[in-house]
Amino acid sequence: MSPILRSLAFCAVFGLGAAAPAGSAKVAANAALPDYAITYAPWTYLYSGEEYFPSDIATHLANVIPEVNYTALGARTSVTVDTLNSYNSSVYLTAADKPTDKPAWITSGYGKPDANGVSGAPGTIIAVEKNATTTDVFYFHFYSYNYGGKVIGINFDDHVGDWEHVMIRFVDSMPYAIYLSEHAAGSAYYWDVMTFKGKRPITYVGNGGHANYATAGKQEYTIAAGIVADTTDAGTPWDMTKNYRGYWYDTSNGKFTVAGGASTGGSAEAGETTDWLLWQGAWGDQQYPNSYPGQYCIFSECHFVSGPTGPVAKNLGRTTVCQNDDKCTIFQDINDLTTQPQKREVDFE
């Protein structure tokens, strides 16, 4: 994209309020996702050695127990897509099985994409109209387990439940910039600097922790002289457009509406409410106490930590491209972060 075009689109990125004409029409309820949301959707590569694959939210919910302060409020299978939002935000969705035993629902082998990139686990696509010219489309990845990896041979930051996302900002139905969530951080890039498969930007998912990156290889995600890093490669391709639940989110009233989906995600969504998307609790266990087998904490960093919040907590109404509106750099080179990790903006998992 030329500097002139970037300047013309500046208000779409940093001044959404000013760019919105008075009385601009909102998307009609239950409208389908725009074609461009699918045409330009990310083409994703999972790491070749991945052990924890994409998960279906319904399967995950069927295998957790709602707890507050380690006290159960219900039994296994008591939480469903339609009942989730009846629980308050202090609830933790606690694994009904010991996660380190790697039960089938935790590893989600059914979600490993086939040779055509089709996963048995539906993704979640949410479109958010910001004004008459600008729409953000979020591609949410959910995994039932996050393996945090090792630092100097010590395992840290494992947790049940893992939400990551890619967001593409569209201006006049054309992609302008892309944001990739990375653990408790994220990176934004101008659209034209990405690499592509046809019209679709290629993204890479880190091993175990599932952060999203624009390049393959070693990914430093903190300022730690390379000690803390993810690994990505062009392992297993994943095409979320083949199986997903689709929604619109209205920033004016905080409501979600069904936009239709594809494959098992589309058929499941047709019989579900959208209320699950409003829930603000944790999609995994509360951080285990030190008495739990295998738990340890070193300088406030622990082996097992609490599960994350869901899509509604990821600033869907953001004005900048980044999740953290107060600190956002849009990179002009996908290799910038290799030499400038300190510029990665800080988010909130």
The three state secondary structure string of the chain is: CCHHHHHHCHHHHHCHHHHCCCCCCCCCCCCCCCHHHHHCCCEEEECCCCCCCECCHHHHHCCEEEEECCEECCCCCCCCCCCHHHCCCCCEEEECCCHHHCCHHHHCHHHCCCCCCCCCCCEEEEEEECCCCEEEEEEEEEEEEECCCEECCEECCEEEEEEEEEEEEEECCEEEEEEEEECCEEEEEEHHHCCEECCEEEEEECCCCCCEECCCEEEECCCCCCCCEEEECCCEEECHHHCEEEEEEECCCCEEEECCCEHHHHHHHHCCCCHHHHCCCECCCCCCCCCCCCCCEECCEECECCCCCCHHHCCCCCCCCCCCCCCCCEECCCCHHHHCHHHCEECCC
**From residue 93, how far is each of 65, 76, 270, 279, 306 by CA, in Å?**
6, 10, 24, 12, 10
Q: What is the pLDDT of residue 17?
A: 44
Any idea which residue has 């890619």 for tokens?
166
Q: What is the pLDDT of residue 341?
A: 44
Q: What is the pLDDT of residue 342?
A: 44
Any idea which residue has 């409003």 for tokens?
278
Rounded to two decimals, the pTM is 0.90
**Backbone φ, ψ for residue 81 (5° rounding):** -55, -40
Instruction: Note the pLDDT tens digit of each residue in 320-336.
Output: 999 999 989 899 998 87
Q: Which residues contact 348 (CB under 8 A, 6 or more apart)?
A: 184, 313, 323, 324
**pLDDT tier at 26, thresholds 50, 70, 90:** low
Rounded Cα distance, 211 and 181, in Å: 6
Rounded Cα distance, 189 and 318, in Å: 16
The residue that leads in pLDDT, 29 or 333, is: 333
Rounded Cα distance, 120 and 113, in Å: 7
Q: At residue 10, does pLDDT exceed 50?
A: no
Instruction: Note the pLDDT tens digit of each residue in 53-76.
Output: 999 999 999 999 999 999 999 999
The residue that leads in pLDDT, 149 or 17, is: 149
Which tokens hold the place of 340? 């400038």
**Mean pLDDT, the chain, integer:** 89
Q: At residue 223, does pLDDT exceed 60?
A: no
**Backbone φ, ψ for residue 12 (5° rounding):** -75, -20
Give the CB-side neighbour count of residue 98, counting CA atoms within 13 A: 6
Any idea which residue has 């500097």 for tokens?
3
Rounded Cα distance, 287 and 105, in Å: 20
Q: What is the pLDDT of residue 256?
A: 98
